[in-house]
Structures are given as C-alpha cells and as structure tokens.
C-alpha cells in the first residue's frame, strides 16, 4: 500500500483504522497472555504496570498490587478478561469501519491460501506447541521465560531503555505511522465529473466503482430517467474505472473520457510510421507500461497511459484496431495486488463479455477474423518491463502490417 501510495485520500479511514487494528490485536494478545498467569504473565504484568504508573491515570501505583502473592487481587483478572473480550469486539467493529468505504471488500482470503494457512498453522502448533511457562509466583523472580516477541516485543525494549524511553519511542512511532497520510499527502487529481446531458442513470459507474465514489440519486434535471450518477469527491480514489464503465461517455476525469480518448488513440496510431506493424498499448500508470521509458526504442508502438486499466472502455480497444493498429495490448497491474483493487477484473470481464460495457466482439472479429480478435492483455507490475517488451515483440511478429487500415470510422 505504501509503495502504491494507497494510504491517503479516500482510504485515509482504512489507514487510520488499520493502525488501530494492529494496536487492538496486540492488546488482545497481551491480555490473553496475562490471563494464563504463568511466569511470562508475571513479566508482562510487571512491565505493563511500570509503564502505566508513569502516566497520571491511577491514584495508587498499580505496581503495588504485584508486591507479593498475597497482595494480588482477583479483580486484576476480571479487568484483564474485560479488556480481552472488549479487544475481540473492538477488532470486529474496527474491521467494519476499516472496509466501510471499500466496495465489495474481500474479507475472506482465496480458498487455496485459506487452506494452506490452516494446515500450516496446525502443523506449526504440533511441531512447536505454545507451552505455558511455570506458574507465576510474585514472591520469586521468574526464571527461563520464553517471551512471545510477536506480541511482547516491547518488553525487552522497555527493560533496556526504561518505561519513559519505551513509551516515548513507541508513542512517537505510533504517531508517525498514524499520521502518515497527512505527511505524505499529494496534490489530488480532480475528481470525475458527470455530464448529465449524457447520463441515462444506468448505474454501471456505481457498480464498477471500487470504493465509495459514486452515489445514484433521483433525477434533478427533468430528463426521463429515474436516476443520475453523482461523484463523491472524498470517497473517490481517482482510478477512472467509472470513465471506462460509462457507455454514454458521460464521465470525464482530468480530461480523460470516452470522448477524449477516442481521438487521442486515432491521433497516436496515425502518427506511427506506415508500412510497418503498428501496436497500440494502453497501460495502467502503475503497470510496466506506465513506467518512464518502458517501451522506448520499440518501433511502431504507441503507448497511452491511464490511471487504471479499468479507465479504458472496451470500445477503445476495438477502436484502436479500427483506426489501423495491428494489435492492441491492455496492460494492467499484476493479477494479485492491483493498485485500485478491481481494475484487472473489470477489464477481463468486459473483454470476455461477462460485464457491461462489453467488447462488441462481432465488429472486432470482422476486423481481424483469422488470428483471434487482435486484443491482448497483460498483468505486469513496474518491474516487469522485459515481459511487456517481449509480448509487444511477439504481437508485432505475428501481425501483418497494414492489415487494419482505417475502416468504417470516418
């Protein structure tokens, strides 16, 4: 997420609640280990109360309750149990908040990953069982304790630098990570605009928005349609998927729309030298094709970069062929880990015809009947430029130059 810059703007809430979720998960582990009341719990209690005692919260220092076995109150366990249960509930509440502005969140991992994790976890717990240490005894100093450093990494740190140092260090670390969206904010691209003259309220932009960027509301302009699309700038990631979703070309984002991309494609293809193979590449800006110089030096190739591959309406791929390209290549993010979550999925489904707007396959097959429809796709991240160049060369080597000279587009 950091590398992709996906932590500010419309996903600020996801970022902030994500950081809080890490804190609550640590609290869940810590209180759980406390309840076991073994020698590890004894160390946790001592270090936790040392840290809490320097905060002006409690009248009596909490560490006093650990002076001897007889001064230990059962109330402490009820309090820890309470926080343990609250942390579990807190995780549910914060996960809900976390994905609140993400459309169709994938809450369950893919099945193979789920089963592999379950099997591995079962195996690891058999091979290295998490055993309790010796029972806690406040009248003795704990010996030979195995600390779980995943949840308790702060304990050795606090033992070395003291509670004031540890609280300052972790407090500053937390604040820096929590406020990262603020420090690393960038100038926002303008949000998309809906031109109501062309919007018929079909809802496809709303269906395709991967976040919370579009709402449908009752028509306000008297046009004979039930609804109209409205962009919510603060819920919008500026991915452009709505631009590619709109059959009517009603949505424009930062100068990109069906209406502006169409002439841009024609112009770029016409500018390529005639007589040789011409390949049009439409690239997501985070993909291999969006990197500076990615396809420099490849003759006969025009590359147009868009925010996400879902910005491309399938008609534009078809139009590339109609405008004279011998092959059109759509380059998105790698299959897993798309910057805007659903871009690749929407592109594939539009091209195979299972999602609106669909590629008008009949007209494309007319253009290029012998060797498939002339439209290719690739999922390639910023580091996969070599794979992209290899595919472009392959497309060029299989194509007959000039086969699709401008037809039927005026």
Q: Is 209 in the site for ligand SF4 (CB under 6 A)?
A: yes
Q: Is 87 in the site for ligand HEM (CB under 6 A)?
A: no
Judged by CB under 6 A, the residue of 155, 166, 251, 380 near ligand SF4 is 251
CB of 7 to ligand HEM, least distance (A): 5
Token pair recorded at residue 315: 């008609």
Q: Is 98 in the site for ligand HEM (CB under 6 A)?
A: yes
**Residues 273, 306, 12, CA angle at the centre, nearest 5°?**
165
Beta-strand relationship, 193-194 and 301-306: unpaired
Choice between 29 and 105, CB closer to ligand HEM:
105
Q: Is 7 in the site for ligand HEM (CB under 6 A)?
A: yes
Judged by CB under 6 A, the residue of 3, 22, 35, 130 near ligand HEM is 22
Residue 305 near residue 290 (C-beta atoms within 8 A): yes
Describe the strand order of the beta sheet including 279-284 as a list of residue ranges: 301-306, 279-284, 327-332, 375-379
Integer Cα distance of 305 and 255 in angstroms: 13
Q: Is 238 in the site for ligand HEM (CB under 6 A)?
A: no
The residue whose Cβ lies closest to ligand SF4 is 213
Residue 314 near residue 320 (C-beta atoms within 8 A): no
231 binds, among ligand SF4, ligand HEM, none (CB under 5 to 8 A by kind): ligand SF4
Q: How far is CA 45 from CA 30, 31, 162, in A?
A: 10, 10, 15
1 binds, among ligand HEM, ligand SF4, none (CB under 5 to 8 A by kind): ligand HEM
Judged by CB under 6 A, the residue of 41, 237, 302, 359 near ligand SF4 is 237
Q: Is 239 in the site for ligand SF4 (CB under 6 A)?
A: yes
Q: Is 241 in the site for ligand SF4 (CB under 6 A)?
A: yes
What 222-226 contacts at long range (C-beta under 8 Å, 24+ apart), as own/partner pairs, is 223/196, 225/199, 225/200, 225/201, 226/201
11 binds, among ligand HEM, ligand SF4, none (CB under 5 to 8 A by kind): ligand HEM
Q: Is 107 in the site for ligand HEM (CB under 6 A)?
A: yes
Other CB atoms within 10 Å distance of the CB of residue 94: 18
Judged by CB under 6 A, the residue of 90, 163, 240, 320 near ligand SF4 is 240
Judged by CB under 6 A, the residue of 30, 48, 236, 325 near ligand SF4 is 236
CB of 253 to ligand SF4, least distance (A): 6
Stretch that binds ligand HEM, among 77-85, 93-101, 133-141, 146-154 (CB under 6 A): 93-101
Residue 251 near residue 243 (C-beta atoms within 8 A): yes
Q: Is 15 in the site for ligand HEM (CB under 6 A)?
A: yes
What burial letters (b/e) apply to 5-34, b meaning 16+ CB within 10 Å? ebbbbbbbbbbbbbbbbeebbbbbbbbbbb
Q: Is 344 in the site for ligand SF4 (CB under 6 A)?
A: no
């Amino acid at each position: 997420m950091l590398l992709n810059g996906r932590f500010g703007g419309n996903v600020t809430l996801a970022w902030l609640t994500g950081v809080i979720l890490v804190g609550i998960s640590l609290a869940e582990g810590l209180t759980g280990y406390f309840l076991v009341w073994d020698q590890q719990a004894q160390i946790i209690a001592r270090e936790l109360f040392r840290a809490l005692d320097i905060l002006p919260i409690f009248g009596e220092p909490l560490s006093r309750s650990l002076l001897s076995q007889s001064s230990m109150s059962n109330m402490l366990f009820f309090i820890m149990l309470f926080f343990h249960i609250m942390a579990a509930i807190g995780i549910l509440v914060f996960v809900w908040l976390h994905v609140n502005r993400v459309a169709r969140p994938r809450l369950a991992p893919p099945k193979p990953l789920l089963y592999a994790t379950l099997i591995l976890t079962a195996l690891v717990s058999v091979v290295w069982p998490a055993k309790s240490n010796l029972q806690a005894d406040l009248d003795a100093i704990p010996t030979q304790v195995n600390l779980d450093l995943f949840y308790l990494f702060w304990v050795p740190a606090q033992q070395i630098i003291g509670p004031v140092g540890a609280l300052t260090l972790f407090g500053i670390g937390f604040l820096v990570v929590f406020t990262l969206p603020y420090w690393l904010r960038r100038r926002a691209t303008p949000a998309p605009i809906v031109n109501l003259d062309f919007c018929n309220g079909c809802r496809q932009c709303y269906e395709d928005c991967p976040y919370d960027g579009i709402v449908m509301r009752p028509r306000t302009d008297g046009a004979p349609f039930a609804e109209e699309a409205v962009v919510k700038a603060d819920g919008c990631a500026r991915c452009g998927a709505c631009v590619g979703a709109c059959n009517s070309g009603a949505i424009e984002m930062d100068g990109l729309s069906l209406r502006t991309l169409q002439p841009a494609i024609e112009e770029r293809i016409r500018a390529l030298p005639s007589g040789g193979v011409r390949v049009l590449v439409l690239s997501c800006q985070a993909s291999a094709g969006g990197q500076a110089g990615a396809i420099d030096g490849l003759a006969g190739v025009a590359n147009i970069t868009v925010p996400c591959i879902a910005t491309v309406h399938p008609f534009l791929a078809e139009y590339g062929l109609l405008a004279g390209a011998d092959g059109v290549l759509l380059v998105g993010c790698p299959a897993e880990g798309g910057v805007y979550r659903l871009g690749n999925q929407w592109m594939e489904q539009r091209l195979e015809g299972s999602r609106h707007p669909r590629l008008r396959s009949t007209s494309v097959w007319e253009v290029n009947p012998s060797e498939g429809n002339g439209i290719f796709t690739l999922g390639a991240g910023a580091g996969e430029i070599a794979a992209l160049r290899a595919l472009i060369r392959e497309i060029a080597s299989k194509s007959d130059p000039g086969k699709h000279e401008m037809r039927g587009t005026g």
